[in-house]
Amino acid sequence: MAAGYVELLRTRHAARLLGGTLVGRLPNATGHIAIVLFTRAEGGSYTLAGALAAVYGLATAVGQPLLGRAVDLRGQPRVMLPAAVLSALGMAAFAFVGIGSLPLAYAAVGVAGLFTPPLEGGLRALWPSVLGRADKVHAAYALDAVAQEVMFTVGPLLVTLCVALWSPGAALLVINAIGVLGALSVVVSEPSRTWRSAPREAHWLGALRSPGLLALLGSFFFVGLALGSITVAGVAYADDQGREAVYGWLMAALGLGALLGGVVYGARQWAGVPERRLRVLVGLLALGYLPLTLTPGVLPMCVLAAVAGVFLAPSLACAFIVVDRHAPRGTVTEAFSWLVTTFGVGAAVGTGAAGPAIEGGGTAWGFAVAGAGGVAALLVLLGTVRVLSAPVGGGQVAGSAESDRNGAVEPGFSAGHQA
């Protein structure tokens, strides 16, 4: 299992691109936490801290597909690096202005979010030209999903370390400076410099003119909603247990489950079309969320959380393949960025929905929101089987190794365009 990932990372440029992208995305993974800590240190209320973090998240959601489209049109270096610098300058302005002038504070975090570079979508657009074979690309998608779990675990720890060593303002500056270095490492690499998107048809909807992509986005909005609600319900569960540390254990168990699931999923090749496989994975994901409503003791609850996380990374990795198959030609970076945006918006909605559910019916109802989100995600996929069965993008992966039950090569894979 590990040998396959080691072989993948030994491919020229692969380790650098993955590492640079993860480092470059560090500000996005920790921005909301750093904003809240800085605002509280400046004497602001939790309400203000939450509002500033929400503006940052909303601006990021708006900026990702717009910048993704710009990358498809103009290439990665001309968009990614300037965006990373502007985002870092926005957060630096917030660190220096503070909350003394609220309009400037909101504008600063808005700029930081809006210009967050679409490194996640950019990396997935690069994998086909770097790895070539479809089986390696699919393994890279799984490794990417696993690496995200590590980043979202380590990132907050780095923020708290910076705060402990220096200050919340310094944490804002350091994390974003590191992010610029990560983006720089990616865009000066040969694959990023030479990559060009396939020619695209001019259309104002861009990637969103694909019905299959819209169906996928609708499903993963609800997956995001489920995860967002779990983060709030987990706090309520920890309060019920009278131990704050329980929340950390639950989130760690959820992340561990996703980590293990992603590693196992990416270590083998899978037969059959990915759309069918995605329905199974999302169904298992939904099934894993439902038992959380039982809210048993801490140890059983942590086990349930780990089980609930097992199918998250595989679902994401499979979704990346489906995005590639359904993105209209020349819109792959934008399409991946839309998935990031939709997932994030769903998580924000889930966070907001879980609070009233908990206040009205208790902690179990907060986890019920997660279960309902998982079921809704599955229902969207089941209701759009016909749409998802007809890929329109042609894909970017060369040499697909996947086959259907009759042994035919899975349709929808062609060589990506390389300058």
Q: Would you state the pLDDT for residue 395? A: 53
Q: Would you state the pLDDT for residue 397? A: 53
How many C-beta atoms surround the C-beta of residue 339 within 10 A? 28
Q: Would you state the pLDDT for residue 306? A: 93
Q: Is residue 97, in this structure, part of any structural domain at all?
A: yes
Q: Is residue 139, in this structure, part of any structural domain at all?
A: yes
Q: Would you state the pLDDT for residue 400? A: 38
Which of 150, 175, 196 is the endpoint of a domain? Answer: 196
| 238 and 164 in a common domain | no
| 326 and 230 in a common domain | yes
Q: Is residue 38, in this structure, part of any structural domain at all?
A: yes
Residues of the chain with pLDDT under 50: 398-419
The model's pLDDT over 167-190, given as tens digits with 9 standing for 90+, comes to 999 999 999 999 999 999 999 999
What DSSP assignment string belongs to 251-308? Answer: HHHHHHHHHHHHHHHHTS---S-HHHHHHHHHHHHHHHHGGGGG---HHHHHHHHHHH
CATH number at residue 26: 1.20.1250.20
Q: Is residue 385, in this structure, part of any structural domain at all?
A: yes
Which of 144, 166, 196 is the endpoint of a domain? Answer: 196
Q: Would you state the pLDDT for residue 207? A: 83
Residues 6+ apart with CB under 8 A from 393: 210, 213, 324, 325, 326, 327, 328, 329, 331, 332, 335, 412
Rounded to an integer, what distance in angstroms lies between the CA atom of residue 202 and that of residue 375?
36
| 143 and 270 in a common domain | no
| 100 and 55 in a common domain | yes
| 380 and 262 in a common domain | yes
To the nearest 10 degrees (0 to 180), the angle between helices 168-187 and 119-131 is 30
Q: Would you state the pLDDT for residue 403? A: 36
Rounded to an integer, what distance in angstroms lies between the CA atom of residue 246 and that of residue 395?
43
Q: Is residue 412, in this structure, part of any structural domain at all?
A: no
| 171 and 148 in a common domain | yes
Rounded to an integer, what distance in angstroms lies between the CA atom of residue 417 and that of residue 129?
8
| 191 and 98 in a common domain | yes
**Range of 114's domain?**
1-196
Q: Would you state the pLDDT for residue 352? A: 78
Say which DSSP state 43 is in.
T
Q: Would you state the pLDDT for residue 418? A: 34
Q: Would you state the pLDDT for residue 401? A: 37
Residues 6+ apart with CB under 8 A from 50: 36
- How many domains in the chain? 2
Rounded to an integer, what distance in angstroms lies between the CA atom of residue 59 and that of residue 70?
16
Q: Would you state the pLDDT for residue 409? A: 33
